[in-house]
Structure 1
């Protein structure tokens, strides 16, 4: 048994805590900035692994089976998401196909594979292979870029736009996507940080304790695995990742990415995101034009969702990142906590702006009736996708700990506050 509890470092303010057990479906928060540190799970790694396997099978069903059957003038299309990606690739829109394919198919697939692999290694409670740290580093990056929930909402929007044009029948793929969205949301709890904690509890990896801080007053926490070690280390002793006290050149990188996103935001809204070709003629549609079309079709709820995801969210992200950049001189714990909330909001809403990109890709597959109607992606779609990617990279490059560095209070190793969840949330943990 260990003499002391393992250490955990808050990723938002760099305060060191001793990791204490939390009962039931409880969670622990940082006593300095109130950021959630970790949650307790009543499921074992083996049980989570079984769920990952079931979700993997469901993922294949959702992507290999048609989502709908659409008939028009004696012709029928039965699109799948991979078929939609292949179609726009053949139309010459390679960048859009690669972008949508990565965040909608490949990265969620690899996330499931890495989760299954890591959970299996931890569940067997045997010495971990040398590439375990590399695998979890990859998983920590995949967590930010898997957008199956956004893809499902894009499916709903695309189907609503075509519901009155032809005879439309829901296919098994759409039901699978519906279930997949909820199950993947649950699996989002299987983060690299949680896997490292499980490995620590089973004594499969080195653990930093209070004695480490006594031996190394000038310490750094690995941003990939959280291991506390001497600041002079260039590589983490546990996962071999580069060790930095703070993210290098964080402010410059965020500034460059935000300015570039602002440049792409102009053509994203001015240029058409798609072009409709039919026997009635050709018409081009911008992002705002798509919102208006949904409203005219009577789907005011979806019009509002698309308006928020495609117009409000990108502007909010850009303004929030600017506030985080220019407000670095504001001091006080209360101010820094508000900045942390702004940062968490930017990370939370970041991926939902990809909705319009998915809608364009899926509508191209639904309207693929040569001679009757076709939808061709426009230049605005790729520009808008670049805005989403750049703002997400800017959020990932931002280091919230820098604002707390202005507080010169002596850091201590303390136990985090614990908060018990309500019975409703306990049932879903």
Structure 2
């Protein structure tokens, strides 16, 4: 394929357009403008990815069929799996918490694996999957909300918290969730755009290479990644349709600032009850008590588990506050039309995206504690109103980050066009020179 017919790719952070070429083992292509990762070398074939997805589904079944931990008090033993924790939380009347954790820890990961199997099977045989376009849209919606790694960390925190009051031992499900976390992390590299590129490589879907010109501006489809030409004088928020998958395409996200601010301010409102109201209530023969997020951190510290206390503090206190402040800073600098420190602001936005789901840690800890300490008449733990509020904060901040369009800030530097500069490629641990894209 000649250089001018190579597929194009858009940097999702600064909207620079590049020609996509093959990388050597160990190389990663980075945007020369903002430094974001564009694509990575992968030696895995579609059949390899299919095997990983099948393995993940099998391990997923084992992880949810067996208890993650068991607790023994005065001769009574209580075992708990993720589904047990969700069921008990629902039975206690905390439906919002049960629905949030049930979807994030079980329903959405299962659906994500099902979609991957649905598309990888036919693609590995050189066929287009039925409903391929819709499946890829669904996969893109699911990926940010699957929180199995957060649940795994929540199990470890819950075991440490209960170890001081009873005999607690890990179960088969805990090991299975550890393996599942590794497999899902690997499958996390398989974004919808990457799957579309695999489909291109086996000639299942067409590759459209638009021509740049003074009357058009290039942008990519958020569903399939296909770069296409839009009229330069068109409204940036006008509706267009992708030439390949027919998804709605906007040059920039419509009303991004208003939607991001609205979601962020709602998160700030819920952040107050999330920290003031108890996230957990304990009833025992010794009396009743309520625990806030900071109270739980102090309790872990006093127990001598300073390392776990630090993890909980970072995930449940520092991370949510950091997300709120970072999003406020990003929105204000974009509103003030600032063009300074764009690269650091890009790194800040990437950090907000990365840490988004980890704030759900305390919510998972609470439901697992409720399942393990479910001894009627002796001890009972249930979620508090603060847990529901905290979960809402996590959801709202993630939606706010998704609504924000960082490309608007980069637009102030100038209109994006096909870059003539080379892509920066790096090989770990040594740096290698980038390749011209033609």
Q: C-alpha displacement at 1:161, in angstroms? A: 1.1
Q: C-alpha displacement at 1:177, in angstroms? A: 1.2
Taking the aligned partners of 1:7 and 1:213, their CA distance within structure 2 comes to 11
| Count of residue pairs the alignment pairs up | 420
SS in 2 for 1:38: strand
SS in 2 for 1:71: strand
Aligned partners of 2:10 and 2:17 also within 8 Å:
yes
**Corresponding residue of 2:427:** 420
SS in 1 for 2:216: coil
Aligned partners of 1:22 and 1:40 also within 8 Å:
yes
Q: Deviations over 1:30-56 (max 9, x none)?
A: 111111001111111101110111111
Q: TM-score, length-normalised on structure 2?
A: 0.92
Equivalent residue in structure 2 for 1:286, among 288, 292, 299: 292
Taking the aligned partners of 1:16 and 1:410, their CA distance within structure 2 comes to 7
**Corresponding residue of 2:434:** none
Do structure 1's residue 380 and structure 2's residue 386 form an aligned pair? Answer: yes
Taking the aligned partners of 1:410 and 1:152, their CA distance within structure 2 comes to 42
Equivalent residue in structure 2 for 1:269, among 270, 275, 280: 275
Q: Deviations over 1:257-283 (max 9, x none)?
A: 110000000000010011100000000
SS in 1 for 2:310: helix
Aligned partners of 2:16 and 2:416 also within 8 Å:
no
Counterpart mapping for 1:269-418 below 5 A: 269-328=275-334, 329=336, 331-332=338-339, 335-408=341-414, 411-414=417-420, 415-418=422-425
Q: Which runs of 4+ in 1 moved over 4 A?
A: none
Aligned partners of 1:148 and 1:181 also within 8 Å:
yes
Aligned partners of 2:212 and 2:218 also within 8 Å:
yes
Instruction: Sort the Cα spacing of 1:279 and 1:383 in 2 relative to 1 into closer, same or farther, 3 A.
Output: same
SS in 2 for 1:213: coil
Taking the aligned partners of 2:173 and 2:387, their CA distance within structure 1 comes to 25
Do structure 1's residue 67 and structure 2's residue 68 form an aligned pair? Answer: yes
Do structure 1's residue 9 and structure 2's residue 10 form an aligned pair? Answer: yes
SS in 2 for 1:204: coil
Q: C-alpha displacement at 1:244, in angstroms? A: 0.5
SS in 2 for 1:17: strand
SS in 2 for 1:231: strand
Taking the aligned partners of 1:345 and 1:229, their CA distance within structure 2 comes to 29
Q: C-alpha displacement at 1:331, in angstroms? A: 4.4
Structure 2: which 5+ residue stretches go unaligned? 232-238, 431-438
**Corresponding residue of 2:217:** 218
Q: TM-score, length-normalised on structure 1?
A: 0.94
Do structure 1's residue 228 and structure 2's residue 227 form an aligned pair? Answer: yes
**Corresponding residue of 2:198:** 198
Aligned partners of 1:222 and 1:243 also within 8 Å:
yes
Aligned partners of 1:19 and 1:416 also within 8 Å:
no
**Corresponding residue of 1:91:** 92
Taking the aligned partners of 1:302 and 1:165, their CA distance within structure 2 comes to 16
Taking the aligned partners of 1:346 and 1:330, their CA distance within structure 2 comes to 21
**Corresponding residue of 2:179:** 179
SS in 2 for 1:238: coil
Q: C-alpha displacement at 1:170, in angstroms? A: 2.1
Taking only aligned residues, the RMSD between alpha carbons, in angstroms, comes to 1.7
Equivalent residue in structure 2 for 1:247, among 234, 248, 253: 253
